[in-house]
Structure 1
Amino acid sequence: MSAEVVEVTGVVRLGQFLKLAGAVDTGGQAREALLAGDVTVNGEAEDRRGRQLADGDVVGLGGGSWAVRVTDDA
């Protein structure tokens, strides 16, 4: 199964991205998923809500996966 691409502008942090991707509804849910060890970035477990994501990173949670695509502000 391939990752759904989510376009973002500029810098995005993991907690924000989980909400943008629709993986969670609230920041509290993002925090709980991260603390439980349920979130991966590029296949590695991640627990830092403030981790900056880069173009091409793949975030996983609960069987779903989302690829980060960073676009220009212009």
Structure 2
Amino acid sequence: MTDSTSPAKPVATAIRYLSNIVGCACLLLAAICVAIACQVFVQTGVFAQSYAMVGLISAVLGLLALMLARVWK
């Protein structure tokens, strides 16, 4: 007999929810960093490379976390 409530099911659900939260937080951080980089560029004319790089890395990590949440079973 197989039990439909295996011990791995709550862990998979927790990983899925945590991945959603982390993915959304990373995308929010990416949006904030890009907004700051744009504001610095508009005000000073100097490209804020550090903010842009943090925004890019955060966006990639956020998308990867959301992909993990979607495919995790």
TM-score (norm 1): 0.23
Identify, as 1 or 2, the structure richer in strand: 1
Max Rg structure: 2
Identify, as 1 or 2, the structure richer in helix: 2
